[in-house]
Every structure is written in C-alpha cells, then in structure tokens.
Amino acid sequence: MTPDDGLATSARLMSEFAVRTGLSAPKQRAERYLWTDAFAVCNFIELFRRTRDEKYLRYATDLIDQVHRVLGRYRDDDARRGWISGLDEEAGRSHPTAGGLRIGKPLKERDANEPVDERLEWDRDGQYFHYLTKWMHALCQAALFIGEAAYARWAVELGERAFAGFARGSRSGEVVGLYWKMSTDLSRPLVPAMGAHDALDGFITFRQARHAQMRLGEGAATALSGAIESLSLLCRHRDWTTEDPLSLGGLLFDACRLCRLPGEERSNDADLLEELTSGCSNGLMAFLAGRQLSWLSSQRLAFRELGLAIGLRGLPIIAAAVAQPRSRFEGRLSLRRSLDRLLPHESVSERIVEFWLPHAQHHDASWQEHCNINDVMLATALAPNMFLLAAGTPDLTKSSGSRVSD
C-alpha cells in the first residue's frame, strides 16, 4: 500500500468513526470510549497535518470537548450527577479532568457491596490508569500542535488526580504499586492488581505532560515531580518481556516517547530504554515463534495486533534517536544489539495491516465486534506520526534515512 493509499483509507475510517459515534452528528447520542478516543484525537490531527482540511482539526477539538463533557461526568444511569470531580458546572468546565475520566464501558460500575464477577467486570465502567495516560498523551499532542495551553494544563491535572487516586501505599507511606481499576469517583479499587506497564506509562506520560506545559509557557519544572519520582522507582530493574501483541506495541510506543523526551539527570533513561528494547526483542521473538499471525481471523483480535503494528512503526524513530551523536544513549552496545534484533521485523507491521484491511473493508464478524477500536487503531497504523512523534519536535528519521510514512 502506498502512503497516499494509506492516508486515504485512514481518512475514510476516521470519517466513518466520526459519524458512527456521534462526533459529526450532534443530534446523535455520543458514544465515547476513552482509549479509542485518545488514538482518534491523534489521527484527526495527523489527517489535518497531511491534508490541511480544517474539518479534521475541528473533529479533534470537538472530540476533546465531547470526551470531557461525557466521560468527565457521571453516567446517565448513575444516581450521582454532574462532574466526577464534584466541582460546580462552571469550575468543572474549566477543569474537566480534575476528577479523572470514565472508561466508557457499557455497564455501570459494580456497587460496593456487589460480589466480583470477572467476566462482567470487563464490561463495567470505572477508571483505568492506562486509559488516563493515553488521554494525557492525546492532550499533549493537541496542546503542542495547536498551541493550546489549556490542553497541557488539563493533562497535568489529570496526571495529578490519577496518581492520587490509583497509587497504592505501604504503611510507611511509600508508593508500592498502582491499582489497575478504580471506581468512577476514585474512592475504591475495583480490581486491586497492578497493570504490568501502568507505572511505565505514568512515568513517561507525566514527564511528557510537564514538558508540554512548560513548552507553552505554563507550569513549573516541579509539576508532577513527586509522582514521577515514585513511578520511576517502580520501573527500576524490571524484566519487560511479554508475548502479548498489544502489550508489546505499548512498550515500543513508550520506548519511542522515552528516547525523545528531554533528558533528566535522575531519570536513568538509558538504562530504562535498554531494558525496554531487550524485553521487546525477547517478547517479539517469542510472539513470532508462536505463529499467531498464521491463525484464522476468528482466533485473533485485530486491535491487539494493530497495537503491535503501531509500536513497530516506531522502531525507526527509536533507532534514529539512539544514533544521534552525543545522545544520552551513546555507547550502549546492548541497546544497539536489541535494536539490531528488532529492526528487521519492522515489516511485521505491514503484514498485520495488510491482513486486517480486507476485514475492515467488508466489516465481517471478526471485525464488527470491536468495530470502533479496530477502525481507529488501523487508521493509526496507516498514518502513525502524530501518535508516535512528539508534536513540536523534529523527525530525526528524515535525516537518518529510516522509514516512517509521511
């Protein structure tokens, strides 16, 4: 598929998503889901960047407003009303992320005295930390591309509330983990186990939000510093190996952002990037050895594989950043070895996209069950730059000769 074909397909998928979820049809009830909408904001900005069609920029800003208006408030079937934060109407509009944001699941959250049903819990609302960090990323990209300082401020406020709500402390007060799923008002854990990569997502995204706010002339270098330090400690000396395609893609996405963040003396970025690429290399080899990409579509989940496809698109960005003279990653031989193992498999991204494209075009049963998230993540895989590249920073792959679709 040529870059122009990929862009056209991405535009079609995103336009259909806008209609289907009530973004471009104001009279239709809005169907908002935080994870999907975070990718969608980046996609709309990328489509505007590439086509200069103002409707895509309008979709991006309207989507941000709609997510806050819908997911920043209690559900229609909840006895509680108004902003999750408890702020009054005017203050809530000024600080829409101050209480966090709902996931957007079809069922309301489990009552406090209701027993856990593991199957139903996947369809119940609440808040996920890793969804909040995805939304923070989307806000940062929009803030820097559009020059809207409020978006960066809202990202920082969301990070502050997320950390306060999800952090699990020891008796001594030390942060020892993050709850995986919290109630809508962040008052109680719904799933107490910690997500394998939540601390990593937070560590990188909180730094990204602080950087975006400072770039736009707001905030201080100390914003989110306590949370960043705690999350950094949770990320130390971890084995990041996973064979799950969506998790692998997420790790590559985090590595892509990490290598482009401004270096910080105490952050040990080089060690962390080395550990991430090593884990990704080991995990990808195990995933490919399992031959899951040869299974029937009915045995696979498109959005999980597309997450890997998106992450693999970031490999040239990581390689270009590491190759920069006098970079903080210079001289890391094991890092280079991990990248040398990963780079030949960048083409797996194209293989995944080419497999799922016909299913997206025909909307068969394996695609339709998760249509919105499948469409949006396929669109990201086809035009990934705004999702992968930090807005307002140079694309180092242009001068290195590495391939990232324009």
Is 401 domain-assigned?
no
Residues 265 and 217 in one domain: no
What are residue 168's DSSP bridge partners? 177
Q: Whole-angstrom Cα distance, residue 226 to residue 257?
A: 20
Strands 189-191 and 181-182: antiparallel
Looking at residue 198, its pLDDT comes to 97
Please give the Cα distance from 255 to 114 (Å, whole number).
Answer: 39
Average pLDDT over residues 105-111: 96
Tell me how far apart the alpha carbons of residues 383 and 385 are, in angstroms, rounded to a whole number.
6
Answer yes or no: is 214 within a domain: yes
pLDDT tens by residue, 18-44: 999 999 876 678 899 999 999 999 999
Best CA proximity match to 359, nearest among 310, 306, 314, 307:
306
Q: Which of 211, 227, 309 is nearest to 264 (CA)?
A: 211
Q: What is the mean pLDDT of residues 158-174?
A: 93
* Same structural domain, 215 and 292: no
| Structural domain contains residue 162 | yes
Domain end residue (candidates: 185, 207, 235)? 235
The verdict on residue 12 lying in a domain is: yes
My answer on whether 388 and 300 are in the same domain is yes
273-313 residue pLDDT tens:
999 999 999 999 999 999 999 999 999 999 999 999 999 99
In a domain, 85, yes or no: no
pLDDT of residue 26: 66
| 175 bridge partner residues | 169
Which residues, in sequence order, are bridge partners of residue 127? 182
DSSP code of residue 87: -
The first and second tokens of residue 160, run together, are 């502050």
pLDDT beyond 60 at 397: no
What is the rounded CA–CA span in Å between residue 172 and residue 192? 19
pLDDT exceeds 70 at position 404: no
Q: To 5 degrees, how large is the angle CA 219–CA 224–CA 229?
A: 140
Bridge partners, 115 (sequence order): none
Place of tokens 């809207």: 148
Tokens, residue 356? 């799922």
Q: What is the pLDDT of residue 391?
A: 58
Whether residue 254 sits in one domain with residue 350: yes
Q: What is the pLDDT of residues 169-205, one digit of tens each?
A: 988 889 999 999 999 999 999 999 988 999 999 999 9
* pLDDT reading at 330 higher than 90: no
What is the structure's pLDDT at 405? 43
Query: Would you say 135 and 158 are in contact if contact means Cβ atoms under 8 Å apart?
Result: yes
Number of compact structural domains in the chain: 3
pLDDT at 357 over 60: yes
Contact yes or no for 132/158 (Cβ under 8 A)? yes
Residue 365 pLDDT level (bands cut at 50, 70, 90): confident
* 249 in a structural domain: yes
Same domain for 266 and 376? Answer: yes
More confident position, 59 or 324: 59
The residue ranking higher by pLDDT, 406 or 152, is: 152
> At 266, is the pLDDT very low, low, confident or very high (cuts 50, 70, 90)?
low
One domain for residues 276 and 148: no
Q: Which residues contact 334 (CB under 8 A, 6 or more apart)?
A: 274, 278
* 150 and 168 fall within a common domain: yes
- Statement to judge: residues 218 and 315 lie in one domain: no
- Enter the pTM of the model: 0.95
Closest Cα partner for 348 from 257, 249, 276?
A: 249
Please give the mean pLDDT across all residues of the chain: 92
Residue type, 95: H
Q: What is the mean pLDDT of residues 151-176?
A: 95
141 close to 391: Cβ distance less than 8 angstroms: yes
Give the alpha-carbon dihedral of 58, 64, 67, 72, to 10 degrees. Answer: -140
The predicted model gives 389-406 an average pLDDT of: 48
CA-CA distance, 402 to 317, in Å (whole number)?
A: 8
The pLDDT, as a whole number, for residue 2 is 81
Same domain (yes/no): 367, 386: yes
Q: How much is the average pLDDT of 348-355?
A: 98
Mark whether 11 and 60 lie in a shared domain.
yes
What's the pLDDT at 393? 52
Alpha helix locations (H) across 147-268? 149-166, 198-215, 225-234, 245-258
Structural domain range at position 170? 98-112+123-235
pLDDT of 150 strictly over 80:
yes
Q: Lowest-confidence range among 114-123, 257-266, 297-306?
A: 257-266
For the segment 217-256, what is each residue's pLDDT rounded down to a tens digit? 987 888 899 999 999 999 998 999 999 999 999 999 999 9
The per-residue pLDDT for 388 is: 95
Cα separation of the two ends of the chain? 13
Establish if 405 belongs to a structural domain: no
Asked if residue 256 and residue 172 are part of one domain, the reply reads: no
Q: Does the structure show a pLDDT above 50 at 396? A: no
In a domain, 54, yes or no: yes
Q: Does 385 lie in the same domain as 253?
A: yes
